[in-house]
């Protein structure tokens, strides 16, 4: 049976209240954030990652935005990660015990190279980049984050996808003992997302391992997540354990649950409303509470880079 849950829902007063509290603390937070926001940060993984052998060092990559980044605190205390609960504060509270080392990713499907790869295997050949991207949730909040990661296409190429690989499917860890949200039926677990292969190898698509010069905290999708900045946030799947090349369009979690509300494409589009609310504007998290909402831009501001991927596609039908 399909249970309709109030997600992604319109922002409610109860969500706004904590922001006022955070806003008051923002000056303190800014000091803390400044000391950790080293654009070329390098050093061993911090305590949470155990005996990681990889160091986090990044160079600035292309596609920066001039928008002011949201504070580290706002980015890591207000999250969507249903495996750890439905409230925005639940992932911070419930994800701390998730074991993210050792970690491995299975590569499967239409590719010459398949099998299981450790996180170290995945990351080692790549240079990490820091990219400041806008990120917009379907629930009409947005933020600006200095992500650390590698271009997804660079990784995918290593597995030599065959000519039959038209899509890429991504799957999150399934482990109800570690992920209490998976003991409830809000979604058909595990969380699955997918991209057309040309979207996946587009240079904007980033496989993310960190933010603000640090390894990803668990609530942000450690140790490996996607960031697809021109699509609504739900496409940016967290804690990935499997990448599969497919000939057919994969079944994705939110699309399967409510196909009339969450399309496979999910390109940010102010002209196509969600059936239950407008998508024309957004609230920048961390901005002054009284600041007016800002206009949402087509493809979240990345139209110049990605609109060409959808030439000839009716974006009202393929939302
Ligand atoms: N596995 C998994 N990935 C997920 C989600 C989730 O519930 N589970 N939520 C998605 C949604 S709706 C959003 S808006 C972003 C939120 O990412 P953030 O918490 O880092 O801002 O993660 C996406 N990735
Ligand atoms: Mo979202």
Question: Does 236 contact ligand 1 (Cβ within 6 A)?
Answer: yes
Give the residue, out of 74, 80, 220, with the most ligand 1 atoms within 8 A of its beta carbon, to mutate for a pocket test. 80
CA–CA distance, 310 with 95 (Å, rounded to integer): 37
pLDDT at 47: 35
What whole-number distance in Å separates Cα of residue 319 and Cα of residue 272?
8
Ligand 1 closest atom vs CA 81: 7
List the Cα angle 125/130/132 in 5-degree steps: 145
Cβ of residue 269 lying under 6 Å from some atom of ligand 1: no
Q: Is residue 146 assigned to a domain?
A: yes
| Residue 218 beta carbon below 6 angstroms from any ligand 1 atom | no
15 domain residue, yes or no: no
- Ligand 1 pocket: which of 172, 232, 236, 285 to mutate (most atoms within 8 A of CB): 236
When divided into structural domains, the chain yields a total of 1
21 found inside a domain = no
Q: Flag whether 278 is in a domain.
A: yes
CB burial string 32-62: b at 16+ within 10 A, e below: ebeeebeeebeeebeebbeebebebebeebe
Per-residue pLDDT at 267: 98
The encoded tokens of residue 240 equal 């990935």
Q: What are 205's two structure tokens?
A: 């698509």
In a domain, 316, yes or no: no
CATH of the domain at 209: 3.90.420.10
Q: How far apart are CA 134 and CA 261, in angstroms?
A: 22
Nearest CA to ligand 1 atom 15: 233
**Which residues constitute the domain of residue 112?**
33-310
The predicted structure's pLDDT at residue 180: 98
Determine the distance separating the centroid of ligand 1 and the alpha carbon of 163, expressed in angstroms. Answer: 31
Structure tokens at 56: 């986090």
Per-residue pLDDT of the chain (319 residues; tens, 9 = 90+): 333 333 233 233 333 323 333 233 333 222 222 222 322 233 333 333 444 467 788 899 999 889 999 999 999 999 999 999 999 999 999 999 999 999 999 999 999 999 999 999 999 999 999 999 999 999 999 999 999 999 999 999 999 999 999 999 999 999 999 999 999 999 999 999 999 999 999 999 999 999 999 999 999 999 999 999 999 999 999 999 999 999 999 999 999 999 999 999 999 999 999 999 999 999 999 988 788 999 999 999 999 999 999 999 999 999 9
Answer whether residue 245 is part of any domain.
yes
Biggest distance spanned by C-alpha atoms of the chain: 54
Give me the pLDDT at residue 288, please. Answer: 82
Both tokens of 55, joined, read 């160091």
Residue 187 CA: nearest ligand 1 atom is: 7
Given a contact cutoff of 8 angstroms between Cβ atoms, the answer to whether 148 and 56 are in contact is: yes
Answer whether residue 201 is part of any domain. Answer: yes
* Residue found by looking up tokens 């024309």 in the block: 280
Nearest-atom number in ligand 1 for the CA of 238 is: 3
Instruction: Write phi, then psi, for 183 (nearest 5 degrees).
Output: -85, -5
Look at residue 319 and tell me if it is in a domain: no
């Amino acid at each position: 049976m399909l249970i309709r849950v109030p997600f992604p829902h319109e922002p409610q007063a109860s969500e706004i209240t904590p922001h006022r509290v955070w806003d008051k603390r923002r000056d303190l937070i800014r000091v803390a954030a400044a000391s950790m926001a080293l654009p070329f940060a390098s050093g061993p993984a911090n305590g949470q990652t155990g005996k990681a052998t990889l160091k986090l060092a990044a160079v600035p990559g292309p596609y920066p935005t001039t928008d002011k980044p949201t504070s580290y605190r706002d980015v890591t205390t207000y999250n969507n990660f249903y495996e750890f609960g439905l409230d925005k504060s639940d992932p911070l509270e419930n994800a701390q015990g998730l074991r993210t080392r050792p970690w491995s990713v299975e590569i499967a499907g239409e590719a010459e190279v398949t099998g299981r790869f450790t996180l170290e295997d995945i990351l080692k050949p790549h240079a990490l980049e820091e990219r400041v991207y806008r990120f917009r949730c379907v629930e009409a909040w947005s933020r600006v984050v200095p992500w650390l990661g590698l271009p997804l296409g660079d990784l995918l190429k290593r597995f030599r996808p065959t000519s039959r690989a038209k899509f890429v499917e991504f799957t999150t860890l399934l482990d109800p003992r570690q992920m209490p949200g998976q003991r409830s039926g809000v979604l058909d677990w595990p969380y699955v997302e997918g991209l057309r292969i040309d979207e996946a190898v587009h240079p904007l698509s980033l496989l993310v391992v960190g933010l603000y010069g640090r390894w990803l905290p668990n609530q942000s999708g450690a140790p490996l997540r996607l960031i697809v900045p021109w699509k609504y946030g739900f496409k940016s799947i967290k804690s990935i354990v499997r990448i599969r090349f497919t000939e057919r369009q994969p079944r994705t979690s939110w699309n399967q649950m409510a196909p009339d509300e969450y399309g496979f494409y999910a390109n940010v589009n102010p002209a196509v409303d969600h059936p239950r609310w407008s998508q024309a504007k957004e609230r920048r998290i961390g901005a002054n509470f009284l600041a007016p909402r800002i206009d949402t831009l087509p493809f979240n501001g990345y139209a110049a880079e990605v609109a060409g991927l959808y030439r000839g596609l009716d974006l009202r039908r393929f939302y």
